[in-house]
Structures are given as C-alpha cells and as structure tokens.
Chain A
Amino acid sequence: KQEVTQIPAALSVPEGENLVLNCSFTDSAIYNLQWFRQDPGKGLTSLLLIQSSQREQTSGRLNASLDKSSGRSTLYIAASQPGDSATYLCAGYSSASKIIFGSGTRLSIRP
C-alpha cells in the first residue's frame, strides 16, 4: 500500500533562504508526483507535476525532483519570500484513482 510522508511537518526560515521540502513514498511503482500549495481556508493550487518519464520540473523559483529508486521527491524553493508561506503537499499517483497525499509541510517565511 502506497504511503506518502512529508518531513518536517512545519518549518520556519528567514526571508531570502533557499530551502528544500521532502516527500517520501513507499511504492516505487509511482506514476506521477505532484506538488501543491494550500493557503489557509483555500483549496489546493498545483505547483509542479512530474510525470513517470521525467525526473524534475521547474517553474520560476521552484524546482521539484523525483527519484523513484530511493522513493523520494524534493521541492526546492529559491530565495524564499513571505508570500511563500503556506502548506505544501505532495501527492503520489499509482493510477487515476490511487492518488495518495502526504500530510503536508507548513512553511513560514519570516520577514
């Protein structure tokens, strides 16, 4: 059974730092890996999707990588800003219906 773990559960860093959020999964037969951002009281916003044939994706200051052999994905945020404060969730896809979410990392960027 696929399990997705995100560590740490919460992270606070000063503005301007580069940081890495981690996502681990137990089943290496993963199809897609998607990172989301969730602001308080809001829905999930898609940040990056890494498809099965890809190893990383980039969007602006964000870079996500996927290593199926080690069961890990990382989300790298460069030059963090207070506006990056949110909860970040990763989701591992085994199929169209088997999409397992991690519990998220609550990120706080201090001005």
Chain B
Amino acid sequence: NAGVTQTPKFQVLKTGQSMTLQCAQDMNHNSMYWYRQDPGMGLRLIYYSASEGTTDKGEVPNGYNVSRLNKREFSLRLESAAPSQTSVYFCASSVFGEGDLYTGELFFGEGSRLTVL
C-alpha cells in the first residue's frame, strides 16, 4: 500500500527555472494538500483541494500554482523559482465530509527537498 507518493524526492534549480512537483495518493481520499516546511516556521499550507475539480489558496500561495488532475493526483508548479522557495515540500491527503467514515485524518508523503540557487 503506497499511500501518498511524491516525486521527485530531491531537486536543485537555478533562479528563474520552472518545475512541477507531483503527488499521487491511492487511498481514495477526496482532499489533498501541499505544505512547505522551513526551519523555525513549521508547516505552512500552500494550496489545497477539497475535492476533484476544486483548488483553493492556503497561507503562502504566492509563486505557486496547482492542478488537481483527477481524484488521485495533485501537482504543484513553480513557474519562476526563487531562492525563498528553497524548502521541503510535503503533499498530504485526507477524507473530509459528513458521517463517521470521514475522519479527516491527514496522511503525508515523504517530502520533496528543493534547493533554488
């Protein structure tokens, strides 16, 4: 059972380059999230998708775009990378809704470590 899978695990970019982080989950979750984790700043939400076809901004969305390709996949794109975007990026998924089945428990991927020079 793979859970939440992120690619790539490591990436080095030059300022101004673009790239896409991929995330896929096999737990049939409806909600997916992208976070960044920085020393001293904790985990901060970049974008989230409550369900297929919807996306919304989180706490720190500037410089990023997302695509909810289908129920399984949620990608994060950096159009013009900046050194301030050097961070560890985590994708997460959960089930949110009404009723006992919808616990909201968050499951995380292993992270993608991005360095922008």
Contact = CB atoms under 8 A, between A and B. Distances in A.
Interface of A: 31-32, 34, 36, 41-46, 49, 51, 89, 91, 93, 96-97, 99, 101-104
A51 B103 contact: yes
Interface residues of B, number: 24
Contacts, number: 57
Say what secondary structure dominates the interface of chain B: strand
Contact of A91 (B48, B56, B58, B106): B106
A70 B6 CA distance: 38
A44 B56 CA distance: 23
Nearest to B58: A97
Contact of A49 (B4, B50, B103, B108): B103
B102 to A, nearest CB: 10
Nearest to A102: B42
Interface in B5-32: 31
Contact of B43 (A31, A49, A89, A97): A89
B50 A34 contact: no
24 contacts: A31-B104, A34-B105, A42-B111, A43-B110, A44-B92, A44-B106, A46-B105, A46-B108, A49-B104, A49-B105, A51-B103, A89-B42, A91-B43, A96-B48, A96-B96, A96-B104, A97-B45, A97-B50, A99-B33, A101-B43, A102-B42, A103-B40, A103-B42, A104-B42
